[in-house]
Structure 1
């Protein structure tokens, strides 16, 4: 497994654990030298970023970063100060410039500006203005300012991502970018249950996702193969239920302090963590930990395989709901975000009547602790709670009846997160030769992951019901950070664009050129991405 490399931190130190690249998994095509690399001699055009911005007005001479550049931030805004510190941490290693932070005038410098009057920018939008006189990043909320910094990173040469001094010049094309997201929910899921990933591995993925303006990290914390979060009232869930993983490895779990560390780090990158406790199925790790949770009072053995659908909590038992209440109460107390994901998929060992009864009892528990329910789309076979989100993971050829059930719920007020498995399940193989992943939903190349419209995807569901998109990465075959990167990148970049950019910007031929320009940046960051033959990759 590759060793960590330094990347900027937002809170405290400016450096954090990231990754230095090793050889990529599998062979890809040679870089296309016929495609010019704008970073080689001229500034990158303002619109040549991912996700595609809402509005670009190019014009004028570029802004140039120099050894005398200062970063100006409002001393009265703690979050603006932190984002300025983060930006300096990105730029200092590669440029070699001091880039001091100041709250006074900074002629020719970089200004980070928060203004409550910028209502049109919403909670996550921003404006970037570049000219020889200076560079100004403006937002209404700190999240928008952070996203503006990600755009600035992409407008600078890819070498800015390296952790040793590089040659300039460091220029940003002249003009204005004004940008707001299409959807408020732009997510990626990491399954830490089939294989366990450490705090530093999760942090690394958070940093990689943040570059592309992903704002939700869904952590799949429990499954048949492992329970990954400490619960004080049921301690054996973690110590015993978390002691293994697929293939029989050592497993692991997050202490409450470690989980809070992940949440704090995600918040520093403006990602909200959505924790999932999957139930009533996918519960063998819990059933193995406590015999009394089983209808027959007998604990099954721990499980290290990959079959699904064989486990179920005991729906008629009152103790089951004491258990669920305890788990959700402790998890809600730890989690500042809005959502608790209660799973609900592949409950094949639970009768439909029991499934409905279970969800009718569990959803009010989520509300009791001040959170909003998220569930896999099978939740729509019961009665989704008011305000609930259903996460659709079906296929293009899923039955019309199942799609109609989800669409009906959407028309009745249930929001939708779209995660079609044959489009954006990141654990699906790219092609038959992909050394990792599964293929039950088919092969998912880069174009297939990008070339669809969330707003019109599900027949009968109003576009207004779509809360956003999420790219799940299940970990049956995934056990290292290199594995995560190879399967996620570059497909998750396309998902980020589907979530952020207006539908009118979605064009595969234009996107593949912008994506190709991300190759040197991912290389500089040490991301072990799949070099799809569908993309005319550039080399740094």
Structure 2
């Protein structure tokens, strides 16, 4: 029997003191598939044990749950393989009911004496834990002992995701963010059941991932950022640390090397990548579309092959993002030729091509995924190009800029962010359906959604928080929850209920007037 220990229990709320309001079962974000309320529910006490089977997956999620609960409750909450029907029980099952949950679904049963989370997979157990966290009082997120009680309303939650691809992107190129800052963002995305972290690792302003065969990419190309700050980059060991941390939260890292445009950091580092053989200066502004790898030189493809080979070897996930957007300095013919040569390299090193939707202006490789970032003013011809590619088998991830871009201003008065696609208030960000958004595209072509967070104007974690919250949970819900649950009036109430949790977690958020936030 394995047991983990912790400090003794703090006192409960004094007799006659007001108890924390019990969160109705299922009042969480994202909205679950099905909720059946009833029964006394479960209370975590000083006697609670977290019971697991012999498998490593159950224990890993149990230890994560214990680490969340111990500081605030003060309870020992030992993780044990000992037999018993009481306590918090984590179970990976293989029965027919478990198979119906799919690869990431879960079931939570809250009853007197026990709280049981069941899934087919470790990912499903982890997602079930996020639901349990949100059912508990927000003070459970604090790192110091708080007064209980710690109750979960009675009943059963049965849940599984609508889409398999639920992502957020962090741009570490315009401004560099440290490993710890990336981990913080991973934790925030995991709370809302996202399962992908797209890292934008290169752009005009900085190259952020070590490539042994082209070392100046980081030592020179990574030395600055927007506004001329010192920049930075991830060593291979640091990149692995990010990948491992994301995996512990059941997120897969999707790395992006943007090309043939958005490449000034690389062009400044190696003169031979330029058609004229002359390296431009490092760039610290925010304009786009002026840079391009030289699509007619053989050294360009040696370079790309080396970068993809090393990045693929470091990345255990399925996808490698090759960018392809805003290549305004590359002719159409050169763009098509470039993509025709680069996509097979991705396959050669065992990865699946993912690119911005401009990839559909070339010939997407078999199995490729195009990420649509168009918006209301995107031309009909460009949309039609994407729709036709989808009809021909190209899968889609949707990130409409005027809905899903977390870096956009909420209103004209927002002190941070951009507004080239318009203002993106909380309701606008939430109120669209990925299944019907791109008219004419087969619904089955859409594999999910992404909330990109570009960093031209963002350089601190507090700034990331302010722009991501409260919009990030809404995009997460669009990716997870059934279309039938989509209702702004109901959602804004559940969203408002998240505010005390963000306060407890130290997440500073935008208090949109569209949301009925709690008083105080």
Whether TM-score is above 0.5 comes out as yes
C-alpha separation in 1, matches of 2:376 and 2:140: 40
TM-fit CA distance, 1:200: 0.2
Partner residue, 1:71: 50
C-alpha separation in 1, matches of 2:367 and 2:270: 33
TM-fit CA distance, 1:42: 4.0
Partner residue, 1:308: 288
Matched pairs, number: 504
The one of 315, 329, 337 aligned to 1:335: 315
C-alpha separation in 1, matches of 2:57 and 2:367: 30
Contact 2:43 2:113 in 1 (8 A): no
Matched, 1:513 2:493: yes
The one of 331, 336, 358 aligned to 1:351: 331
TM-fit CA distance, 1:106: 3.4
C-alpha separation in 1, matches of 2:99 and 2:182: 34
Unaligned runs of 5+ in 1: 1-11, 15-38
Matched, 1:82 2:63: no
TM-fit CA distance, 1:43: 2.0
Matched, 1:45 2:21: no
Q: Deviations over 1:468-526 (max 9, x none)?
A: 00000110000000010000011010000000000000000000000000000010000
TM-fit CA distance, 1:105: 2.4
Matched, 1:151 2:145: no
Q: Deviations over 1:265-311 (max 9, x none)?
A: 00000000000000000000000000011111100000000000000
- Give the SS at the match of 1:510: helix
Contact 1:116 1:141 in 2 (8 A): no
TM-fit CA distance, 1:41: 4.0
- Give the SS at the match of 1:111: strand
How high is the TM-score relative to the length of structure 1? 0.92
Matched, 1:275 2:243: no
Contact 2:106 2:119 in 1 (8 A): yes
C-alpha separation in 2, matches of 1:217 and 1:539: 34
Partner residue, 1:233: 213
Matched, 1:249 2:266: no
- Give the SS at the match of 1:471: strand
C-alpha separation in 2, matches of 1:45 and 1:108: 22
The one of 88, 91, 98 aligned to 1:113: 91
TM-fit CA distance, 1:340: 0.2
What aligned pairs does 1:136-535 form with structure 2 within 5 A after superposition? 136-535=116-515
TM-fit CA distance, 1:89: 0.6
C-alpha separation in 2, matches of 1:539 and 1:188: 30
For the aligned residue pairs, the C-alpha RMSD in angstroms reads 1.3
With a CA cutoff of 8 Å and minimum separation of 6, indicate the structure with the bigger relative contact order: 1
C-alpha separation in 2, matches of 1:313 and 1:321: 10
Q: Deviations over 1:432-486 (max 9, x none)?
A: 1101001111100000000000000001101110010000011000000001000
C-alpha separation in 1, matches of 2:490 and 2:439: 27
C-alpha separation in 2, matches of 1:483 and 1:44: 30
Q: Deviations over 1:129-165 (max 9, x none)?
A: 0100201000001000000000000000000000111
C-alpha separation in 2, matches of 1:40 and 1:99: 22
Matched, 1:92 2:76: no
Contact 1:43 1:62 in 2 (8 A): no
C-alpha separation in 2, matches of 1:483 and 1:390: 29
